[in-house]
């Protein structure tokens, strides 16, 4: 059985049944988790931001981008990335 970086077995794969897509997604999740644990984030400020992310920015900040406040718009680059949107309250 394949486990992620946190040692958690994957859930039932009823949604993603293509093994290549699943492997790519698992790799992105594992990299983001390792970056988050290491505190490697790119933080935006509380102002409205429009940001085109480059491959260098995402490579140097594997924990991801944290859009902390304001009305932010993020555009990804040409490299594979995982976007997880969380809304603060």
Q: 87 pLDDT exceeds 60? A: no
Instruction: Give the total number of structural domains in the chain.
Output: 1
> What is the per-residue pLDDT across 40-63, written as a single tens digit (0 to 9) for each?
888 888 888 888 888 788 788 888
pLDDT score for 89? 46
Q: 72 pLDDT exceeds 80? A: yes
Q: Does the global pTM surpass 0.75?
A: no
Confidence of residue 25 (pLDDT cuts 50, 70, 90): confident
User: 84 is in which domain, residue-wise?
Assistant: 1-89
Phi-psi region of 14 (alpha: psi -120 to 50; beta: other; left: phi over 0): alpha
């Amino acid at each position: 059985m394949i486990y992620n970086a946190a040692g958690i077995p994957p859930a039932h794969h009823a949604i993603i049944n293509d093994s290549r897509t699943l492997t790519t997604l698992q790799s992105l999740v594992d990299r983001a988790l390792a970056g988050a644990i290491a505190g490697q984030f790119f933080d935006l400020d509380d102002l409205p931001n429009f940001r085109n992310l480059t491959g260098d920015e995402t490579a140097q900040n594997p924990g991801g981008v944290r859009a902390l406040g304001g009305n932010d718009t993020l555009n990804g680059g040409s490299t594979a990335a995982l976007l997880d949107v969380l809304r603060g309250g």
